[in-house]
């Protein structure tokens, strides 16, 4: 049965006029009311100007790129690369095979970056809005939220988008289960586990046995996979995994600083700290410096992603490189319908590479002053 504007108004407990104002954006509406209306639109799967079947025959030139935080270079790099490559023509269109650089055509596509702020509700709302706009493609970047109800809701949204002719590309998140992934055109999945395992193996080879870990949000697939790789390396080396030495937080610098301070207070004998990403690692380095600890002489610090800032730290950061720009560019090409789906079932695994720099070193048995703040004279 077709969902009407009146149905949305009743569900949101507002007037039909208010729903119209929110959807048209032509009149100021209180933020809380607007959020309630958009939630009702998402829950009822309301499509403007009639049922979705009436829109299935045509799509717009719009491409939606969903990110958790556009200010985070991890997402900014991928989104920028995807946007630059969404107008790549199909392979062989110019007689030279697949394009490797953005090419402008008469059928220009408009990329819109949708910043969810990590909110599951906003992710669903943006997918609904993109469905209403008959988006030509949708690219979802970064790890997924591990919540069965939300995962089912996202899968349902993607299925409706695909039914309307939208191409769905996952970039930097694991493939959906077969029962939910039929709508996905292609998946670029980062090899977070093996990258994290190699990073911890590197620290173990340097003699580290007391290793702290600052993880991201517990509900994110990226967090779980990187932590699993870390623990696999510890287990293979016969090193006890002390749960107290793993602390979760956001993927930001403040988390690194705060959690490192907690770890170093709890366990002043730590010789290394692994951060779930480079931004967290910068915060860890700041906390170490505030305690008067030298990196890597007193404390080795390692990150993940190999953001541009990783080489600007002193010393430069040991990390795991993910080819973020290349992955984003590939996602843009796939979203344009060029380049094929790649891999079995449309899944391409993006390899992670260990990059050793100056922030990690061998354990020093003498002259260490962990947990003691030095004061200059």
DSSP character string of 319-340: EEE--HHHHHHHHHHHHTT-S-
Q: DSSP of 274-292, one letter per residue?
A: EESSHHHHHHHHHHHHHTT
Q: How far apart are CA 39 and CA 297, in angstroms?
A: 52
In terms of Cβ atoms closer than 10 Å to its own Cβ (0-12, 13-18, 19+), residue 84 is middle
- Asked if residue 367 has pLDDT above 60, the reply is no
pLDDT, mean of residues 286-309: 97
Q: What residues contact 80, with CB distance under 8 A and at least 6 apart?
A: 325, 328
Question: Interior CA angle at 299 toward 295 and 302, to 5°?
Answer: 80
How far apart CA 200 and CA 161 sit, in angstroms, is 40
Q: Please give the model's pTM, rounded to 2 decimal places.
A: 0.79
Integer angstrom CA distances of residue 230 from 16, 85, 193:
53, 34, 8
Secondary structure (3-state) at 66: strand
Q: What share of the chain is helix, strand, coil (3-state, %, to 5)?
A: 40, 15, 45
- The Cα 186–Cα 344 span in angstroms is 10
pLDDT, residue 177, reads 87
DSSP state, residue 177: P
Q: Can you tell me the distance from the alpha carbon of 114 to that of 95, in angstroms, rounded to the nearest whole number?
A: 35
Greater confidence, 368 or 213?
Answer: 213
Asked whether residue 104 carries a pLDDT value surpassing 60, the answer given is: no
The stretch 207-211 carries a mean pLDDT of: 97
The Cα 20–Cα 25 span in angstroms is: 8
H helix or E strand, kind and range, residue 138: strand 137-141
Q: What is the pLDDT of residues 17-76, one digit of tens each?
A: 888 888 766 567 888 888 888 888 878 877 665 444 444 444 689 999 999 999 999 999
Q: Rounded CA gap, 151 and 145, in Å?
A: 7
Whether pLDDT at 198 is above 80? yes
């Amino acid at each position: 049965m077709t969902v009407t504007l009146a149905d949305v108004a009743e569900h949101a407990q507002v007037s039909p006029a208010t729903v119209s104002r929110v959807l048209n954006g032509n009149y100021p509406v209180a933020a809380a009311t607007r959020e309630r209306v958009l939630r009702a639109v998402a829950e009822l799967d309301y499509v403007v100007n009639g049922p979705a079947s009436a829109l299935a025959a045509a799509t717009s030139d719009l491409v939606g790129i969903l990110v958790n935080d556009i200010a985070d270079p991890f997402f900014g790099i991928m989104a920028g690369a995807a946007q630059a490559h969404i107008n790549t023509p199909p392979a062989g269109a110019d007689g030279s095979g697949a394009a490797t650089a953005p090419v402008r055509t008469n059928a220009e596509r408009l990329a819109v970056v949708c910043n969810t702020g990590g909110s599951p509700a906003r992710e669903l709302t943006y997918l609904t809005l993109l469905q209403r706009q008959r988006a030509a493609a949708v690219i979802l970047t970064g790890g997924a939220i591990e919540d069965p109800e939300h995962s089912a809701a996202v899968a349902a949204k993607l299925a409706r988008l695909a039914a309307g002719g939208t191409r769905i590309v996952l970039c930097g998140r694991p493939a959906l289960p077969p029962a939910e992934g039929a709508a996905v055109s292609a998946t670029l999945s980062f090899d977070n586990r093996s990258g994290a395992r190699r990073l911890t193996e590197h620290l173990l080879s340097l003699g580290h046995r007391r290793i702290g870990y600052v993880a991201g949000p517990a509900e994110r697939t990226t967090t779980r996979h990187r932590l699993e790789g870390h623990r696999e390396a510890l287990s293979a080396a016969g090193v006890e995994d002390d749960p107290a030495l793993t602390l979760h937080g956001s993927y930001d610098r403040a988390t690194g600083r705060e959690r490192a301070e907690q770890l170093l207070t709890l366990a002043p004998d730590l010789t290394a700290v692994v951060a779930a990403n480079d931004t967290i690692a910068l915060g860890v380095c700041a906390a170490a410096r505030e305690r008067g600890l030298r990196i890597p002489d007193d404390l080795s610090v390692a990150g993940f992603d190999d953001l541009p800032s990783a080489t600007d730290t002193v010393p430069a950061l040991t990390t795991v490189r993910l080819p973020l720009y290349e992955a984003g560019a590939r996602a843009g090409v796939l979203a344009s319908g060029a380049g094929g789906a790649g891999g079995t079932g449309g899944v391409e695994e993006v390899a992670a590479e260990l990059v050793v720099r100056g922030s990690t070193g061998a354990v020093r048995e003498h002259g260490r002053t962990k947990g003691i703040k030095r004061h200059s004279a």
